[in-house]
Amino acid sequence: MRAIVFGASGGIGQALSTQLAARNDISRVYAVSRSPAPSGPNIVSYTADITHEADLATFAGSLKAEGDIDLVIVATGLLSNDRGLSPEKSYRHQSMDAFEQVFRVNTFGPALVAKHMLPLMPRNRRAVFAALSARVGSISDNRLGGWHAYRASKAPLNMLVRNYAIEQARISDQFIAVSLHPGTVDTGLSQPFQSNVPDARLFTADQSAKHLLSVIDSLTPVDSGKCFDWAGKEVPA
């Protein structure tokens, strides 16, 4: 099996790449990111920006001669940054700039990854496309409000994953597309927002990767199009 991890320079992405490369059933891991990604046995690092379609087209072209890709994980995400982007507490704090930044990474980027990677996935055996989402992207589970751009960017990501599941099921009865909620992970994305998270619910990147890969391993085609949390429980739409 061959796997690709997009966002491989981030905390979860690095851990996923390393753990996949250590598995006996994985022959190669492509670790893709804008900045230097993990390297090591069975890991091939590749520099690409998922919001630049030309990067993805070039990457896909380089893979075609090497065979099918059995697992694609999109582990990118944007919640805040050091340039003024921060989750909104009220609709009064919304801005076009924030929406464009967050949607570009959380929604548009994974969509472009799907456009260029799904054609490389096998039709005659199990294949999994997984994108990291968030429980706050659930419409029916939203009881607190706020975080407008981030919440709003994850809800359409879940819809896109559902669309891919439906479309790919027409050509393969073994294809699985899911979105995954990793929980609160001790990475740069969540660090400013960890103060109210119990220690038992704050995962290291390695713990999170282990949980997510366990969920991925347990999936069947019946699960395609759904969102699951780190423990394998379905997250409502």
pLDDT at 194 exceeding the cut of 60: no
CB atoms within 10 A of CB 22: 13
Query: Average pLDDT of 176-182?
Result: 97
pLDDT of residue 205: 93
pLDDT at 97 exceeding the cut of 70: yes
pLDDT of residue 20: 97
Which two structure tokens, joined as six digits, stand for 41? 């046995």
pLDDT of residue 94: 94
**Segment 17-41, tens digit of pLDDT:** 999 999 999 999 999 999 887 788 8
Q: Is 139 exposed, middle or buried (0-12, 13-18, 19+ CB in 10 A)?
A: exposed
What is the DSSP code string of the chain?
Answer: -EEEEESTTSHHHHHHHHHHHT-TT-SEEEEEESS----BTTEEEEE--TT-HHHHHHHHHHHGGG----EEEE----S--TTS----SSGGG--HHHHHHHHIIIIIHHHHHHHHHGGGS-SSS-EEEEEE--GGG-STT--S---HHHHHHHHHHHHHHHHHHHHHHTT-TTEEEEEEE--EESSTTTGGG-TTS-GGGEE-HHHHHHHHHHHHHH--GGGTT-EEETTSPEEP-
- Categorize the per-residue pLDDT at 200 as very low, low, confident or very high, splitting at 50, 70 and 90: low
What domains sit in the chain, N to C, each tagged with a CATH number? Answer: 2-235 (3.40.50.720)
pLDDT of residue 8: 96
pLDDT of residue 56: 98
CA neighbours closer than 13 Å in the CB half-sphere of residue 173: 0
Which pTM was predicted? 0.93
- Categorize the per-residue pLDDT at 181 as very low, low, confident or very high, splitting at 50, 70 and 90: very high
- Categorize the per-residue pLDDT at 198 as very low, low, confident or very high, splitting at 50, 70 and 90: low
pLDDT of residue 35: 87
**Taking all residues of the chain, what is their mean pLDDT, rounded to a whole number?**
93
Query: Average pLDDT of 1-21?
Result: 96
> Cα-Cα-Cα-Cα dihedral of 178, 8, 34, 54, to 10°?
-40
